[in-house]
């Protein structure tokens, strides 16, 4: 009878459990490692110590520490707005006019529209969370609760933004193409009436 091998991976409680022959588990772990090997987070996590302050095994208190960390991370950050001149001039439209023309619907679309405007009209290539706060206030839009995560999602889900190691975002070619295609055309089938 072959021995059963078990593996458990807890990516922040995403939990992946494998059980089967050693060959099966090893193959699945190798596939998993290969798939996540190319992913990098712009928000590196500090390494967790293996022992607590008394020198005891810290794994017993890991669940409590995880809850504390989540609660601490759930506290909203206050991001001060960065000063920007977003008013209309002879050379450019106001941000409000540009925003109203493009009609972005999601936080990621809004951040990308702001990045496009700031790059094209104010020559600001890399935007920061404070820029997004200023832009949101100028156009009377809600400020995303986690602007860094909005940047991260726009990069990893749609490739509209590119993040540097400091968390600043620069609009990509895909992002420029998306903004230039806004506003999205309405679904033609919704406008048709049945006869």
Instruction: Kindly report each contact of residues 20-29 with a partner whose C-beta sits within 8 Å and lies 24 or more positions away, as own/partner.
Output: none
The helix (run of H) or strand (run of E) holding residue 162 is strand 161-163
Residue 112 maps to a domain: yes
pLDDT of residue 4: 80
Q: Is 127 left (phi over 0), alpha (psi -120 to 50) or beta?
A: beta
One domain, residues 111 and 33: no
How confident is the chain (195 residues) per 10-residue block, as mean pLDDT? 72 73 78 63 50 52 59 67 94 96 96 97 96 96 93 96 95 96 69 48
Q: Angle at which helices 107-122 and 173-181 pack, to 10 degrees?
A: 100
Secondary structure of residue 9 in the 3-state scheme: strand
One domain, residues 33 and 106: no
Residue 187 maps to a domain: no
Query: What CATH number is given to the structural domain containing 176?
Result: 1.10.10
pLDDT of residue 151: 96
pLDDT of residue 22: 80
Could you give the C-alpha distances from 92 to 24, 71, 86, 89, 180, in angstroms and in order? 61, 44, 9, 5, 16
Residue 49 maps to a domain: no
One domain, residues 34 and 109: no
One domain, residues 100 and 32: no
Please give the model's pTM, rounded to 2 decimal places: 0.59
Residue range of the domain that includes 175 = 95-181
- Is there a contact between 152 and 43 (Cβ–Cβ < 8 Å)? yes
One domain, residues 104 and 175: yes
How many domains does the chain fold into?
2
pLDDT of residue 188: 41
pLDDT digits (tens, 9 = 90+) for 3-24: 787 777 776 666 777 788 888 7
């Amino acid at each position: 009878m072959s021995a059963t091998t078990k593996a458990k991976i807890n990516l922040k409680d995403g939990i992946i459990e494998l059980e089967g022959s050693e060959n099966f588990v090893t193959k699945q772990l190798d596939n998993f490692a290969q798939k996540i090997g190319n992913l990098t987070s712009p928000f590196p996590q500090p390494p967790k110590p293996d022992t607590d302050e008394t020198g005891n095994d810290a794994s017993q208190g890991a669940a409590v520490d995880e809850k504390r960390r989540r609660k601490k991370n759930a506290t909203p950050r206050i991001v001060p707005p960065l000063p920007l001149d977003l008013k209309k001039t002879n050379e450019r439209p106001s941000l409000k006019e540009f925003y109203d023309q493009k009609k972005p619907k999601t936080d990621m679309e809004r951040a990308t529209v702001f990045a496009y405007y700031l790059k094209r009209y104010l020559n600001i290539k890399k935007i920061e969370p404070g820029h997004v706060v200023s832009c949101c206030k100028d156009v009377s839009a809600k400020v995303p609760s986690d602007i860094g995560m909005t940047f991260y999602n726009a990069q990893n889900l749609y490739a509209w933004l590119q993040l540097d190691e400091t968390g600043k975002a620069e609009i990509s070619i895909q992002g420029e193409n998306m903004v230039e295609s806004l506003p999205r055309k309405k679904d033609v089938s919704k406008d048709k009436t049945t006869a």
